[in-house]
Amino acid sequence: MRIDVLTIFPDWFDGPLTTSLLAKAHAAGLLDLRVHDLRAFTTDRHRTVDATPYGGGAGMVMRADVWVNAAEAVWNDLPPATTAGAHAPPADAPFVAGGERPRTLLLTPRGRPLTQAYARELAAEPRLVLCCGRYEGIDERAHDLVATDEVSIGDYVLFGGEVAAAVVIETVTRLVPGVLGNHASPEDESFSSGLLEYPHYTRPATLRGHGVPEVLTSGDHGAVARWRTERAEELTRRRRPDLLAAPDDHGPRGNG
C-alpha cells in the first residue's frame, strides 16, 4: 500500500513514520509512506497557503488553489514546479491524467467517523492520500475538488490534521497483510467483532493480591474461548452499550 501525506509540517511525521512496525513495514516494502510539504506547491515567493475568509470572521482559511496544485502533483507523481502557476487549474480540469484520483482523505471535524469497519475498507485500497488542514479550515472548493472522503477521528477539535492522519495511518496499515506478525491479532481486537476486547493476563500469576482467572490456566481451550466472549460482552454492555444497540456508524459526525 502507498500512503501520501500533504501537510505544512512534514517534519511532524519524522517520529510516527520512522518507528516500530511502521518503519519495519516500510523497510520490507509492504508500505510506501511519503510526506509532502504543502508549501512546495504555492505560487508566490512567500509560500502562502492561507488567506482571510470571504465574508469576514476570525482566523485564516487555507487556499483551495494550493490544495488543488498539490493534490494533482501528488496524484500524478509530478514535482511541484510542474504545477505551480499564477492560478489554480480550472474547475473542470481532469483530476488525474488517464484515470481517476486515488482515495483522498481530508481530515475534518465534519467527516465520516473512523471505525474499524471503515479502516478495513480503506486498507483494501492500493493507495491513500491524506490531507492535513490547519487554521480555521480549508476553502470549501478544496473539499469538492480534492477530497474523495472526509474523515473524523472523534468529536473534538485538534490544532490540525496531522494527529488525525497519524491515527488513520496506524489504524489502516496494521490491517495490511504482513504488517503484523500474528495474522490473528487484528481479528481478536476491540471493534473487529462489534465488541470491546476481552481482558488479557500474563506473568506474574499473582500481583499484590490480584490473581489470574483460573480458566486461563486450565488448559481447556473451549472454556477459555467462552470466558473471553463472555468478558467481551460484559465489558461492552458496561462501557459501550451503544455498540450493542446499533451497527457500525457510517454517517457524518465529529472531528479528526
158 labeled part of a ligand binding site: yes
156 labeled part of a ligand binding site: yes
Q: Which residues contact 155 (CB under 8 A, 6 or more apart)?
A: 109, 253, 254, 255
Q: For residue 104, what is the enclosing H or E element?
A: strand 103-113
The C-alpha torsion from 230 through 233 and 234 to 237, rounded to 10°, is -160
201 labeled part of a ligand binding site: no
179 labeled part of a ligand binding site: no
The C-alpha torsion from 116 through 120 and 126 to 127, rounded to 10°, is -20
Q: Prior bond to 90 cis, omega within 30?
A: no
44 labeled part of a ligand binding site: no
Q: Which residues contact 204 (CB under 8 A, 6 or more apart)?
A: none
Q: Are 60 and 50 in contact (CB under 8 A)?
A: yes
14 labeled part of a ligand binding site: no
Q: Are 36 and 10 in contact (CB under 8 A)?
A: yes
**What one-letter code names the amino acid at 243?**
L
8 labeled part of a ligand binding site: no
Q: Binding site for S-adenosyl-L-methionine: what residues are annotated?
A: 133, 153-158
Q: Binding site: what residues are annotated?
A: 133, 153-158
